[in-house]
Amino acid sequence: MSQSITAGALKPKDYKSAIKPIWCPGCGDFAVLNAVTKALAWLELPLEKVALISGIGCSSRIGAYTSVYGFHGVHGRALPLAAGLKAAREDLTVLVAGGDGDGLSIGGNHFIHACRRNMNMTYIIMDNEVYGMTKGQASPTTAPDWAGSKLTPGGTAIRPFKPAALALASGASFIARAFTGDPNELARILVAAIEHKGFSFIQALSPCPTFRPEQMDWKYQVHAFEPETTSNPVLAIQRLQADDGMGMGIVYQQDLPVFQPGGASPSTDVASFENEFAL
Amino acid sequence: MSIIEKIADLNTFYAFSIALEEEAAERHDELADMLDVHNNPDVAATFRKLAHYSRLHAQEIGDRAKGRTLPVIAPWDFGWESAEGPETGDIGDVTYLMNTAHALQLAMGNEQRAHDFYDQISRESQVPEVAAMAAEFAAEEKQHLGLLRGWVNKTKASVDEQLYDPDPPHMPE
């Protein structure tokens, strides 16, 4: 038998569903899908042991394009849905995905509390600094002078969130930034994030070729964090504040107590599961 | 460690070559799906055909490696000189408006990089059997380039064609 790029029996393509993505050709979200499937195959995770929860937006469609369990939830509410699932089914590998608007605006409050709660799950924000599905409005990560939308013809004049710094200030225990132009590196970071015990956050810079075509130049701007990782939050915040937003890698990783509500059982027995919620 | 140093034996060379072709096939399929969904059936069919040939090539290499124990290498540990394998096209290089000539131009770029990859190994590897097989694979990639040139000559589309959509998706509200 010939060698494959995966260690296990399942190949990356086995984690893809038969549904063809309707993302625009050239969209960075394709690379996130590619990286997720490579990471899951590398970790040899059975399909039925993974759930991908998403919100609303272009990137939140990703769940339908995988063959693992999924829940395409309400706008901005992917994290609480995922937290509920993880509380009930500790045995599952829970991935959460969405865009910068979904995760940092509509779901912004959930994001900061998910960071401090430190449940064992992985959250990927596909950051293209724009609301793409609604045809290109400024999002919480859009630069203040971006004037590409008629809603903000002179730009928003509001400083954008720095998602990684926000995650650090909110208590996340694993923080990384990756670029979709390098799906293999994104897959490596995803594997580390999934293996991390606690809340792992990945800001995946994912160019929008339709509403932010200038982002296609990100491939010339990204650079690796040197050194890559620290467990010291002071060093991490200094690095993030000094960074141009294009530093890539696992910027911070720390072992912190993981929140897992008591009484959760990996049992899939419906009767005993119902008993846990009986009044 | 350079990629030449990493490919220190024939088994590793096979592992790299299979990954190179499998990744290329996967990407061609992804590109075909993108163009399918965006109602560009000609370009989708071209990418689908390219995926088929990449898969055939991976299969051929796999058959030659039969009976060998190949190293299992994580996708991020190959250390390709670009972000992905040399024959893997960049997702960002496609647009829904592209024509068959553009698709073939991308494919030729991929084949050229694959040729250059094998050619470099054939010239620089210190392992004679690796260098010999790399030279053989470089010649095959050159052949593929020739076949693609034939396709380019047959296609009616042109890379100079103006890409125009009277109703573009980018209409800021």
Residues B77-93 pLDDT 10s: 999 999 999 999 999 99
Whether residues B36 and A20 touch (CB distance < 8 A) is answered with yes
Confidence of residue B112 (pLDDT cuts 50, 70, 90): very high
Confidence of residue A263 (pLDDT cuts 50, 70, 90): low
Instruction: Tell me which CATH code domain A23-275 carries.
Output: 3.40.50.970
**Average pLDDT taken over every residue of chain A:** 93
**Which chain B residues have a beta carbon less than 8 Å from that of A149?**
172-173
Interchain CB contact of B1 with A (< 8 Å): no
B-interface mutation test, from A1, A3, A133, A217, most B Cβ less than 10 A away: A3
β-strand partners of B165: none
- Residue A7, pLDDT score: 46
- Residue A4, pLDDT score: 43
Q: Any idea which fold B3-154 has?
A: Ferritin (1.20.1260)
**Which chain B residues have a beta carbon less than 8 Å from that of A211?**
170, 172
* Tally of residues, chain B: 173
**Average pLDDT taken over every residue of chain B:** 95
Closest residue on chain B to A130 (Cα): B172
Whether residues A137 and B173 touch (CB distance < 8 A) is answered with yes
Q: Would you give the distance in Å from CA A204 to the centre of its chain?
A: 7
> Between A and B, how many CB-CB pairs are < 8 A?
116
Closest residue on chain A to B91 (Cα): A26
Does the pLDDT at position A269 exceed 80?
Answer: no
Does the pLDDT at position A3 exceed 70?
Answer: no
A51 token code pair: 């759930």
- Residue A155, pLDDT score: 96
pTM score > 0.90 for this model? yes
- Residue A267, pLDDT score: 59
Interchain CB contact of B140 with A (< 8 Å): no
Confidence of residue A1 (pLDDT cuts 50, 70, 90): very low
Helices (H), A1-59: 29-42
Whether residues A31 and B70 touch (CB distance < 8 A) is answered with no
Task: Catalogue the E-assigned strands of chain A.
Answer: 50-54, 69-72, 93-99, 121-127, 174-179, 199-205, 223-224, 247-253
Mean pLDDT of all residues in A39-64? 97
- Radius of gyration (C-alpha) of chain B in whole angstroms: 18
Interchain CB contact of A228 with B (< 8 Å): no
- Residue A6, pLDDT score: 43
Type of residue numbered B93: D
Q: Which ipTM was obtained for this model? A: 0.94
Structure-derived torsion over alpha carbons of residues A11, A17, A19, A21, reported in degrees to the nearest 10: -60
B-interface mutation test, from A5, A20, A22, most B Cβ less than 10 A away: A5
Residues within 8 A of A (CB atoms), B 141-170 only? 169-170
Whether residues A3 and B71 touch (CB distance < 8 A) is answered with yes
Does the pLDDT at position A2 exceed 60?
Answer: no
Question: Of A28, A16, A20, which Cα lies nearest the Cα of A178?
Answer: A28
Type of residue numbered A132: G
Whole-Å CA distances, A117 to A80, A111, A195, A204, B96:
11, 10, 18, 22, 42
Residues A54-79 pLDDT 10s: 999 999 999 999 999 999 999 999 99
Does the pLDDT at position B17 exceed 90?
Answer: yes
Does the pLDDT at position A265 exceed 80?
Answer: no
- Residue A128, pLDDT score: 98
Whether residues B31 and A211 touch (CB distance < 8 A) is answered with no
Domain ranges of chain A: 23-275
Residues B125-141 pLDDT 10s: 999 999 999 999 999 99
Does the pLDDT at position A278 exceed 80?
Answer: no
Mean pLDDT of all residues in B138-159? 95
Does the pLDDT at position B170 exceed 80?
Answer: no
Nearest chain B CA: its distance from A251 CA (Å): 18
Kindly tell me the sign of the dihedral angle through the C-alpha atoms of A109, A50, A98, A77.
negative
CB nearest to B96's CB, from A24, A137, A150? A24
The kind and range of the H/E element at B144 are: helix B128-154
Q: Would you give the distance in Å from CA A73 to the centre of its chain?
A: 15
Domain ranges of chain B: 3-154
CB nearest to A216's CB, from B31, B66, B92? B92
Closest residue on chain B to A23 (Cα): B34
Q: A102 in helix, strand or coil?
A: helix
Distance CA B9, CA A229 (A): 33
Q: B136 Cβ partners below 8 Å, 6+ apart?
A: none
Residues A108-152 pLDDT 10s: 999 999 999 999 999 999 999 999 999 999 999 999 999 999 899
Whether residues B83 and A137 touch (CB distance < 8 A) is answered with no
Whether residues B76 and A184 touch (CB distance < 8 A) is answered with yes
Q: What percentage of chain A reaches a pLDDT higher than 90?
A: 88
Interchain CB contact of A155 with B (< 8 Å): no
Looking up tokens 């989708």 gives B44
Distance CA A27, CA A180 (A): 9
Contact A2, B62 (CB under 8 A): yes
Does the pLDDT at position A5 exceed 60?
Answer: no
Question: Of A86, A92, A57, which Cα lies nearest the Cα of A73?
Answer: A57
Whether residues B83 and A183 touch (CB distance < 8 A) is answered with yes
- Residue A107, pLDDT score: 97
Mean pLDDT of all residues in B55-64? 97
| CA contacts within 13 A on the Cβ side of A62 | 29
Interchain CB contact of A183 with B (< 8 Å): yes
Structure-derived torsion over alpha carbons of residues B32, B37, B38, B42, reported in degrees to the nearest 10: 40
Residues within 8 A of A (CB atoms), B 70-129 only? 70-76, 78, 80, 83-84, 90-96, 98
Distance CA A162, CA B9 (A): 46
Does the pLDDT at position A176 exceed 90?
Answer: yes
Mean pLDDT of all residues in A229-251? 96
